Amino acid sequence: MQNPLGNRLPTDHCCCHPLVSVIIPAYNAEHFIAQTLDSVLTQTYQSLEVLVVDDGSQDGTAAIVNNYMAADSRVKLLQQNNAGVAAARNLGIERSTGELIAPIDADDIFYPEHIEKQVEIFATSPPSVGLVYAWSVDIDEVSTPTGGLRAATIEGNVYKTLICHNFIGNASASMIRRSCLNAVGGYSSNLRAQNAQGCEDWDLFLRIAEQFEFRAVPTFSVGYRKLLNSMSKDYRQMARSHSLVMANVRQRYPTLPNFLFRLSASNLYFYFAHQSNGGHNYSTTLTWLRQAIQADPLTCWIRLGLYQLTLKSLWGWGMAQWSERPRHDRSTQPLPLELPKAPHTVLWEVRLLLAVGNGFHWLISALARQTLAQPQPLNFGTRENAL
């Protein structure tokens, strides 16, 4: 079968050390691309190629990457006219040769054993496993964990659970077999064409989950950077993106129960509420909480953290009328070599997340037992903007 992401075949490597292609889409990423590259190149697993796709940057991104290319032959720079994150990732995958694909955003970081642990899972998994994901923590401008985290051990056939909730959380936490990407067609640029970027990763995860199983690495090994001007802060655009992705799922599987989609929308709005609260935007937090309840009024009341978040937002909104939160110094800091030791409260939070997540996965699987038909291949068009 012809490779929809290009005709290249994986380079031969020892089966114990398959080549991993790290794909980094970058747009005006000069502030963080060096930290991202440092975190990749210092991985304990060294059988890597690193492809940075400059998506029409107007800053010094390319110059920084060129310096890394001169020092390390594993680093390659590709450049294209601005076409969006999906097109940039697809170009990187097309030009790569690795058996395994590890995407990472240009402002995120891998902690040292991230790739090694994911490769170990693939090495002991059958070909039916197409994606392995790790846990991630939110980090700020100086790579300090801010308290937000994503942890799940949901494995196997995860499609219906993934409709309700993107438990992986971000592209940087995933590693994908090349053969799996060949089968599903890569990232879709349709969302950008409809001014609805934001859920490209979720869309790909869903299409992979239709045909392949997932596995988890139960370790925090990704730093997911949260910035005030990041794409994930454009909640309205992300909501449109989610709506289009779910509409595609409904079209392909019209027999799936409606409660899956109500729960999905409610989960997304609750996520927006959490993010707004983290930015101390309490009035916006309350708005998204209201929409989460309206989307799924039956189960929202038993949602973990609803009442605490509501009370905290009401209190914060009131206090904000009288005081202003002090600004923190965001001076440049060296790249952290490892995560700081988690306090006991965080460990209990992780245990609770895992218990709730696994129970949720079991419940969704039990309530939505319809067998999915063989998915039809999707046509995502061709890349036209590469230089």
Q: Indicate whether 225 belongs to any domain.
A: yes
Task: Say how far apart CA 29 and CA 55 lie, in whole Å.
Answer: 10
Q: Indicate whether 183 belongs to any domain.
A: yes
**Model pLDDT, residue 349:** 65
Task: Map tokens 């939110």 to a residue.
Answer: 138
Query: Up-side HSE of residue 129: CA atoms within 13 Å toward CB?
Result: 19
End-to-end alpha-carbon separation of the chain, Å? Answer: 27
Confirm if 43 and 112 have CB atoms less than 8 A apart. yes
Burial pattern 120-150, b for ≥16 Cβ within 10 A else e, equals ebbeeeeeebbbbbbbbbbbebebebeeebb
pLDDT 10s digits, 187-226: 999 999 999 999 999 999 999 999 999 999 999 999 999 8
**Model pLDDT, residue 233:** 59
Q: Indicate whether 58 belongs to any domain.
A: yes
Task: Say how far apart CA 58 and CA 73 lie, in whole Å.
Answer: 25
Task: Map tokens 């991104």 to a residue.
Answer: 61
Confirm if 227 and 141 have CB atoms less than 8 A apart. yes
Contacts of range 321-328, beta carbons closer than 8 Å, 24 or more positions apart: 325/280
Task: Say how far apart CA 161 and CA 128 lie, in whole Å.
Answer: 18
Q: Indicate whether 304 belongs to any domain.
A: no
pLDDT 10s digits, 366-387: 776 655 554 444 443 333 444 3
**Model pLDDT, residue 275:** 79
**Model pLDDT, residue 10:** 42
Number of folded domains in the chain?
1
**Model pLDDT, residue 229:** 56
Q: Indicate whether 297 belongs to any domain.
A: no
pLDDT 10s digits, 58-80: 999 999 999 999 999 999 999 99
Rounded to two decimals, what is the model's pTM?
0.82
Q: Indicate whether 216 belongs to any domain.
A: yes
Centroid of chain to Cα 84: 16
Task: Say how far apart CA 35 and CA 111 lie, in whole Å.
Answer: 11
Q: Indicate whether 80 belongs to any domain.
A: yes
**Which of 181, 213, 127, 176 has the alpha carbon at shortest distance from 3?**
181
Which residues make Cβ contacts (< 8 Å) with residue 170, sequence separation at least 6? 105, 108, 136, 150, 201, 222, 224
Q: What range does the domain containing 74 cover?
A: 20-235
CATH code where residue 79 lies: 3.90.550.10
**Model pLDDT, residue 335:** 56
Secondary structure in 3-state letters for the chain: CCCCCCCCCCCCCCCCCCCEEEEEEECCCCCCHHHHHHHHHCCCCCCEEEEEEEECCCCCHHHHHHHHHHHCCCEEEEEECCCCHHHHHHHHHHHCCCCEEEECCCCCEECCCHHHHHHHHHHCCCCCEEEEEEEEEEECCCCCEEEEEECCCCCECCHHHHHHCCCCCCHHHEEEEHHHHHHHCCCCCHHHHCCCCCCHHHHHHHHHHHHCEEEEEEEEEEEEECCCCCHHHCHHHHHHHHHHHHHHHHHHCCCCCHHHHHHHHHHHHHHHHHHHHHCCCHHHHHHHHHHHHHHCCCCHHHCCCHHHHHHHHHHHHHHHCCCCCCCCCCCCCCCCCCCCCCCHHHHHHHHHHHHHHHHHHHHHHHHCCCCCCCCCCCCCCCCCCEC
**Which of 361, 150, 165 has the alpha carbon at shortest distance from 263?**
165
**pLDDT lower than 50: segments of the chain:** 1-13, 231-232, 317, 321, 325-332, 374-387
Q: Indicate whether 46 belongs to any domain.
A: yes
